[in-house]
Structure 1
Amino acid sequence: MTQTETIARPQAANSLGLPKPPAQTRVVVAMSGGVDSSVVAAELAAEGYDVVGITLQLYDHGAALAKKGACCAGRDIHDARRVAETMGFPHYVLDYESRFRESVIEDFAESYLAGATPIPCVRCNQRVKFRDLLETARELEADCLATGHYVRRQDGPQGPELHRAADPARDQSYFLFATTPEQLGYLRFPLGGLASKAETRALAQKHGLPVADKPDSQDICFVPEGGYAAVIEKLRPGAAEPGEIVDREGRALGRHEGVIHYTIGQRRGLGLGGGEPLYVLRLDPERRHVVVGPRSALATRRVPVAEVNWLGDGAFDDAPAGGHEALVRIRSTRPPAPARIHPAGDRAEVELLSPEEGVAPGQACVFYAPEGTRVLGGGWITR
């Protein structure tokens, strides 16, 4: 290709960036029953797209794990169906219970028992929604799969890019770091450019959707009221075996009722009175030890990461001598911090320029461009 040659790109003919009119564009919308995905489906239907709504039944609605009002529980399936009826497009419920249990719930339980702090929402996107559901959308001859996530997909010089949402308070890019370039080419996130959740609810009101005032779900869909330990004990009876709370030298300071009740950085609930405040530094499930120490011992600058998914330009291993310069987020609630990423195949060592506290195995470490809003990928924090 000469310097004067350019790559011919099809002209977008609709709001989703596809080269044909909306009426000729089939869009599968992943509908959880909440206001976000409902607005996506309603807006696209109103624009004249050939919309097909799909809701995933992810677990037994009558089981103790299910929680009223949680994602994809019975009420949510009913709400998604009502939205489809209101807007006049077809809606289907697919039974993904066995896939969800094997790919997400079992992984959650095993990770927790191994002393990690897993994020099942990422695994659900990675192994169910953006793999199995995406394949179903292709089988339905859909041109794309749209979701209600607050994140932006933009066409860059080397292909589709993932960017943070316009509203920082609603940004969900941390939970989508595992999206592959191939998946990104097929996915659409229509809400990513909205300025606030108020805009989403206003659109729901405009379309007369029955979920316009429905509260947001705050919990993991199969974990009622954030009770992780109770879910683990149900999945793995006898998992909450008692053990010792020890200091960094292994000296016993007290007893606990199960490692699964603790997370890295935890201070409250240790039952250790007097002296300086102590924090959970490490969990040792094999010895049934909860290792505690001073807050200063939580700080680290080296973060080992596995299963890296790279969304930046060029090959991940082709890094400058000092590593990839980036901002990284080690928890969904933390702001991105300056770092350098040193690749090693599908693993990496992340060097934080300033120490961070409470780095926990099982959490995600997500990479962002030093400037702008682009997501460069991420991986899973290991020991």
Structure 2
Amino acid sequence: MTDFPGAPTGPGDGRRLRVLAAMSGGVDSAVAAARAAEAGHDVTGVHLALSANPQSFRTGARGCCTIEDSHDARRAADVIGIPFYIWDLADRFRADVVDDFVAEYAAGRTPNPCLRCNEKIKFAALLDKAIALGFDAVCTGHYATVVVNADGSRELHRASDAAKDQSYVLGVLDERQLAHAMFPLGDTLTTKDEIRAEAARRGLSVAKKPDSHDICFITDGDTQGFLARRLGTAEGDILDEDGKRLGTHSGAYGYTVGQRKGLRLGVPAADGKPRYVLDISPVNNTVTVGPAEALDVTALTAIRPRWCGTAPDGAGPRTYTAQLRAHGDDVPVTAELADGELSVRFTGGAVRGVAPGQAVVLYDGTRVVGSATIATTERSPRAAASA
């Protein structure tokens, strides 16, 4: 029997594992399940029903939680030759992901629902149920790598292909979850076209299915409209850095720090340059806008740290790189853990447009050290002066 890097191992290398393959209905998860089965593991496919009304989630190319997706996942499982089930996690998804998403925006923060879904659904609710049923691992189509050290401990690393790396949204996984995680696509230097070609060779009908995009539970892609339907409209002022009223909005929750589009300001800036959202205040329902340079941030404080392994000790700041959004670049930082909070300082210069509520994920080379939720930011002297 063959194995692949990152697969959980037992007392002996290459033992046959009971694997639960999370099958979204897309090409990546289908190929991941097929590779796990081909490696000789005892694989069962499962599709997660995340909505009480699946037709309310996106359809076609933009979905990942629809009735069509469940059918696609079932057909892929039939071709692979593995058992297949649909598990209803709609109530848990609504409470842990959708309601959290709404609450975070209402508080003036910008959450990442995909990261929360990985933390609370795929590697908490799903994994706990899988372990209770006797499975050894949960397999997904994420592009990341689990490295098993000589002492049996595990580390999460970036995918071999940096262009497809998804370790950022997996940075919430702890050591226990990593011990039961399997990412068969993460250690292969293959392009997405090659993954699709592999799916076609395997006879999987999802080979040509477009990738899903955006947020699965917002059916029309209108985040502001989605929030308005749940939070209601609340007209407030859009202000400049000096507190001058420039316009109005229908709800401060509909904005995020760094946003440029959709401000609909009737008064042009004196310098003629674009204005961006600098601050959101749910307390007085105002949105403050200003020039791009006012977004420059030199440091941040993050809460609720989660470590992919042993937590760093509190013996002073350490040097890492950090990623601040799913497709963002690495930036050099120093980070220090104290009293349960993470203090991060950007050592390569100011970073623009960092929004509270987003995740900061720390890396040591390709290894994911851990993640935390951004609570506050510290602006550069120039940005602070202009704001």
Contact 2:58 2:64 (C-alpha < 8 Å) held by counterparts? no
Contact 1:361 1:380 (C-alpha < 8 Å) held by counterparts? yes
The residue identity in structure 2 corresponding to 1:59 is S
Contact 1:219 1:225 (C-alpha < 8 Å) held by counterparts? no
The residue identity in structure 1 corresponding to 2:41 is Y
Which residue of structure 2 aligns with residue 7 of structure 1?
Answer: none
Contact 2:19 2:136 (C-alpha < 8 Å) held by counterparts? yes
Which residue of structure 1 aligns with residue 26 of structure 2?
Answer: 34
TM-superposed CA distance for 1:248, in Å, is 2.6
Which residue of structure 2 aligns with residue 349 of structure 1?
Answer: 343
Pick closer, same or farther for the CA change 1:378–1:229 going to 2, 3 Å: same
Q: What secondary structure is seen at the aligned counterpart in 2 of 1:212?
A: helix
- Indicate the percent of aligned positions where both proteins have the same amino acid: 40
Pick closer, same or farther for the CA change 1:351–1:190 going to 2, 3 Å: same
Q: Which 10-residue stretch deviates more, 268-277 or 182-191? A: 268-277
TM-score (norm. length: structure 2)? 0.89
Q: What secondary structure is seen at the aligned counterpart in 2 of 1:122?
A: helix
Q: What secondary structure is seen at the aligned counterpart in 1 of 2:345?
A: strand
Which residue of structure 1 aligns with residue 9 of structure 2?
Answer: 18
Which residue of structure 1 aligns with residue 286 of structure 2?
Answer: 289
State the distance in 2 between where 1:343 and 1:328 align: 15
User: 1:326-361, CA deviations, whole angstroms, 9 ceiling, x for partnerless residues?
Assistant: 001112232110100021133111011111110101
Q: Does structure 1 residue 324 correspond to structure 2 residue 308?
A: no
State the distance in 1 between where 2:38 and 2:94 align: 35
State the distance in 1 between where 2:175 and 2:141 align: 19
State the distance in 2 between where 1:244 and 1:24 align: 61
Which residue of structure 1 aligns with residue 277 of structure 2?
Answer: 280
- Partner residue of 1:221 out of 216, 225, 234: 216
Q: What are the within-5 Å matches in structure 2 for residues 28-107 of structure 1?
A: 28-62=20-54, 64-69=56-61, 70-107=63-100
Q: Does structure 1 residue 298 correspond to structure 2 residue 295?
A: yes
TM-score (norm. length: structure 1)? 0.90
Pick closer, same or farther for the CA change 1:359–1:44 going to 2, 3 Å: same
The residue identity in structure 1 corresponding to 2:325 is R
Contact 1:65 1:231 (C-alpha < 8 Å) held by counterparts? no
Q: What secondary structure is seen at the aligned counterpart in 2 of 1:211?
A: helix
Which residue of structure 2 aligns with residue 232 of structure 1?
Answer: 227
Q: What secondary structure is seen at the aligned counterpart in 2 of 1:382?
A: strand
Contact 1:22 1:50 (C-alpha < 8 Å) held by counterparts? no
User: Which runs of structure 1 show a deviation greater than 6 angstroms over 4 or more consecutive aligned residues?
Assistant: none
The residue identity in structure 1 corresponding to 2:353 is G
Contact 2:50 2:65 (C-alpha < 8 Å) held by counterparts? yes
Q: Which 10-residue stretch deviates more, 93-102 or 259-268? A: 259-268
TM-superposed CA distance for 1:193, in Å, is 1.1
Aligned residues: 365
Q: Does structure 1 residue 171 correspond to structure 2 residue 162?
A: no
State the distance in 2 between where 1:303 and 1:193 align: 32
Which residue of structure 1 aligns with residue 381 of structure 2?
Answer: none
Pick closer, same or farther for the CA change 1:168–1:190 going to 2, 3 Å: same
User: 1:265-321, CA deviations, whole angstroms, 9 ceiling, x for partnerless residues?
Assistant: 122332132423322100012211011122221111111101111236x542333x3
TM-superposed CA distance for 1:186, in Å, is 0.9
Measured on the aligned residues, the alpha-carbon RMSD in Å equals 2.0
